[in-house]
């Protein structure tokens, strides 16, 4: 088996559980942006401490579920499994619990946050902005599907990544030559 199949050379891509769509249509735009967020989260995970890396890895795994749902033709939605290939309420609930934990520990910023307090936090902030773009793409792609939790999940995830970046910054201490 080779990495290239040549099936996409005509400008289409395959969907989860079958079917093909144009690569520039709503679904591929949305799940491609989710994939981009997963990669930026990988940059943050590779540089973070063990606890932060574990938290990021959990999000990356959740984003594979999000991408699977976005990559499925609505006619095959009944084949998706909650938590494995379809976003479920428990995934959103976990994010809200994590946000609440960080807010209770770190608190909310009292002024505008300029990304760049640390490499890990800045990477999380980039991932957050990519998640917001994925959310906007998902809104368009899922406009007629009221049964999907993808948009609420992505909305909450962006909030979580914002708070996680603030938590990482709080633990960061400047090194010689850097200002606080």
Instruction: Give the CATH number, domain containing residue 30.
Output: 1.20.1200.10
- Would you write out the chain's pLDDT as a tens digit for each of its 180 residues? 888 888 888 888 999 988 999 899 999 999 999 999 999 999 999 999 999 999 999 999 999 999 999 999 988 999 999 999 999 999 999 999 999 999 999 988 888 888 888 999 999 999 999 999 999 999 999 988 888 999 999 999 999 999 999 999 986 444 434 444
Q: Say if 136 falls within a structural domain.
A: yes
In a domain, 126, yes or no: yes
Within-domain flag for 7: no
d(CA 9, CA 80): 28
140 within a domain of the structure (yes/no): yes
Does residue 179 lie in a domain region? no
CB environment 65-104: b (16+ within 10 A), e (fewer): bbbbbbbbeeeeeeebeeeebbbeeebbeebeebbeebee
Please give the backbone phi and psi of residue 172, each rounded to the nearest 5 degrees, phi first: -80, 135
- Tokens 């979580």 correspond to what residue? 160
Residue 155: domain span: 12-170
């Amino acid at each position: 088996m080779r990495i290239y199949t040549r099936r996409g050379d005509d400008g289409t891509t395959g969907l989860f559980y079958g079917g093909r769509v144009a690569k520039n249509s709503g679904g591929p735009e949305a799940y491609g942006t989710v994939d981009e967020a997963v990669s930026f989260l990988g940059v943050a995970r590779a540089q973070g401490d063990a606890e932060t890396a574990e938290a990021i890895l959990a999000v990356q795994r959740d984003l594979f579920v999000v991408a699977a749902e976005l990559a499925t033709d609505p006619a095959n939605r009944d084949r998706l499994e909650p938590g494995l290939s379809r976003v479920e309420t428990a995934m959103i609930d976990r994010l809200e619990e994590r946000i609440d934990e960080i807010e209770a520990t770190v608190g909310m910023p009292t002024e505008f946050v300029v990304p760049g307090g640390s490499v890990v936090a800045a990477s999380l902030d980039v991932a957050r902005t990519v998640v917001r773009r994925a959310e906007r793409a998902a809104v368009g792609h899922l406009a007629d599907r009221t049964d999907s939790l993808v948009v609420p999940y992505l909305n909450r995830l962006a909030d979580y990544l914002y708070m996680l970046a603030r938590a990482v910054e709080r633990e960061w201490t400047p090194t010689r030559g850097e200002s606080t």
